[in-house]
C-alpha cells in the first residue's frame, strides 16, 4: 500500500508576500537555489509518489514552466561542459514522474483547492503538501515518515507539531488521544483557536495523507472562516466517519508563507549548502560580531553593503 499521487495546492494569493507574489507564485520563491515547490516535489518523490497534481491559478504559470524540460537550456549547458548545472536542471523532475495541472478558478480556500484535485486523484488515498511549509533537517523526509504510519494503519494521517501556546490562533489545533510514541488519534480539530480555548498545542502543518472520502465531504462543506472552504471543517466531518491520525514528525518546519520563516529557512539551509555554507557561516559570524558593541543591538551596515 503506497501513496502514488501528491497534491500541491499552489493557487493561494500569497498576500503576506506582496508585492513579490503579485505576478508569480509564492511557491516559486527560492530557498537558496531551489524554489519552494521543488523541495515539496522532492519530498513527495522520496515518499514514493509518482504523480504530482498541482492546483494552480492564472498567476502560477512559472510553476508549470519550472517542471517542464528546457531542451535549449540543457543543450547550452551541455555544449559548455557545465555538467553539474545540467544535472541540477535535469533533476528538477526525475524520469517516471508525471505532472498534472488543474486550475482553481478562484482562491476559495485550501479545502476548495483540494476538492479541485478530484479528477486527477479519483478513488485513491493521496497526499497533500503545502509547499510553503518547508520541512527539513531529518534523516527521513516528513511525508516518508507519514507514509510509514499510513502503511501500518491504512487511514488518514495529518502531520502535527507542538507550537507555543500563545501561537495557537495561527493554526488548526487538534485534540488527541495518544496511541503510540508521537502518534495519536484525533478527537477534535479547531481552526485558529485563541490560546485560552485551544484543546492542546498540537498544530496541523502542511502535510496530509487523506482518503478520497474527503472529496464528498468537501463538496458539502459550506464556506467557513474568512468566507473560504476550510479543509479543517472537512477533516472534522471525516473524523466522524473514519479514523484520522495525528503524527508528530521529526524535522524542522519553516513557515515560508511568512517573511520571517522564509528568511530563517534561507539562513539555516544556506548554512548547510555544500557550495556556500562555510563562507556564509563566516559572513554571518563577522556580521554578528560587528553588532556586539551596539547599545541598541541593531545591525550595522555590513562590509558587503
Ligand atoms: P495560505 O493560508 O498560506 O494562503 O494557504 P495564501 O493565500 O497562499 O497566503 P496569504 O495568507 O494570503 O499570504 C495555504 C496553502 O493553500 C494554498 C496556498 O497556495 C498555500 O499553499 N491555497 C490557499 C490554494 O491553493 N487555494 C486557495 O484558495 C487558498
Residue ranges covered by each domain of the chain: 5-273
Q: List 101's β-bridge partners, or say none.
A: 54
Q: Which CATH class is domain 5-273?
A: alpha beta
Tens of pLDDT, residues 252-262:
999 999 999 99
Mean pLDDT of 155-165: 97
- Name the grid cell of 4: 502514488
Could you tell me if the CB of 56 is within 6 A of ligand 1?
Answer: no
Least confident of 4-18, 221-235, 291-305: 291-305
Mutation test residue for ligand 1: of 101, 110, 256, the one with most atoms within 8 Å of CB: 110
Mutation test residue for ligand 1: of 257, 261, 262, the one with most atoms within 8 Å of CB: 257
Q: What distances in angstroms separate CA 89 from CA 37, 45, 68, 70, one per listed residue?
A: 14, 16, 10, 9
pLDDT tops 90 at residue 302 = no
Phi then psi for residue 273, to 5 deg, are: -70, 130
Could you tell me if the CB of 172 is within 6 A of ligand 1?
Answer: no
pLDDT tops 90 at residue 225 = no
Tens of pLDDT, residues 40-64:
999 999 999 999 999 998 877 889 9
Amino acid at each position: 500500500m503506497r501513496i502514488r499521487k501528491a497534491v500541491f495546492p499552489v493557487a493561494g494569493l500569497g498576500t503576506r508576500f506582496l508585492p513579490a507574489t503579485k505576478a508569480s507564485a509564492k511557491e516559486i520563491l527560492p530557498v537558496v537555489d531551489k524554489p519552494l515547490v521543488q523541495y515539496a516535489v522532492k519530498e513527495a518523490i522520496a515518499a514514493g509518489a509518482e504523480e504530482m497534481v498541482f492546483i494552480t491559478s492564472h498567476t502560477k504559470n512559472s510553476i508549470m514552466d519550472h517542471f517542464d524540460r528546457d531542451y535549449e537550456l540543457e543543450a547550452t549547458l551541455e555544449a559548455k561542459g557545465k555538467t553539474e548545472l545540467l544535472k541540477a536542471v535535469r533533476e528538477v523532475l526525475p524520469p517516471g514522474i508525471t505532472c498534472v495541472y488543474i486550475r482553481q478558478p478562484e482562491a476559495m480556500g485550501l479545502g476548495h483547492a483540494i476538492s479541485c484535485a478530484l479528477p486527477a486523484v479519483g478513488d485513491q488515498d493521496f497526499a497533500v503538501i503545502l509547499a510553503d511549509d518547508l520541512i527539513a533537517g531529518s534523516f527521513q523526509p516528513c511525508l516518508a515518515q507519514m507514509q510509514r504510519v499510513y502503511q501500518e494503519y491504512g487511514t488518514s494521517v495529518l502531520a502535527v507539531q507542538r507550537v507555543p501556546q500563545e501561537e495557537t490562533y495561527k493554526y488548526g489545533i487538534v485534540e488527541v488521544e495518544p496511541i503510540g510514541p508521537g502518534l495519536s488519534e484525533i478527537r477534535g480539530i479547531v481552526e485558529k483557536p485563541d490560546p485560552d480555548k485551544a484543546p492542546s498545542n498540537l498544530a496541523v502543518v502542511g502535510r496530509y495523507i487523506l482518503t478520497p472520502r474527503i472529496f464528498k465531504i468537501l463538496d458539502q462543506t459550506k464556506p467557513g472562516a474568512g468566507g473560504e472552504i476550510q479543509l479543517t471543517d472537512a477533516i472534522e466531518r471525516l473524523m466522524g466517519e473514519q479514523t484520522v491520525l495525528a503524527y508528530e514528525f521529526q524535522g524542522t518546519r519553516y513557515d515560508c508563507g511568512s517573511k520571517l520563516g522564509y528568511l530563517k529557512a534561507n539562513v539555516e539551509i544556506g548554512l548547510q549548502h555544500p557550495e556556500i555554507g562555510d563562507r556564509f557561516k563566516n559572513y554571518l559570524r563577522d556580521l554578528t560580531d560587528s553588532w556586539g558593541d551596539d547599545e541598541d543591538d541593531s545591525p550595522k551596515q555590513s562590509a558587503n553593503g
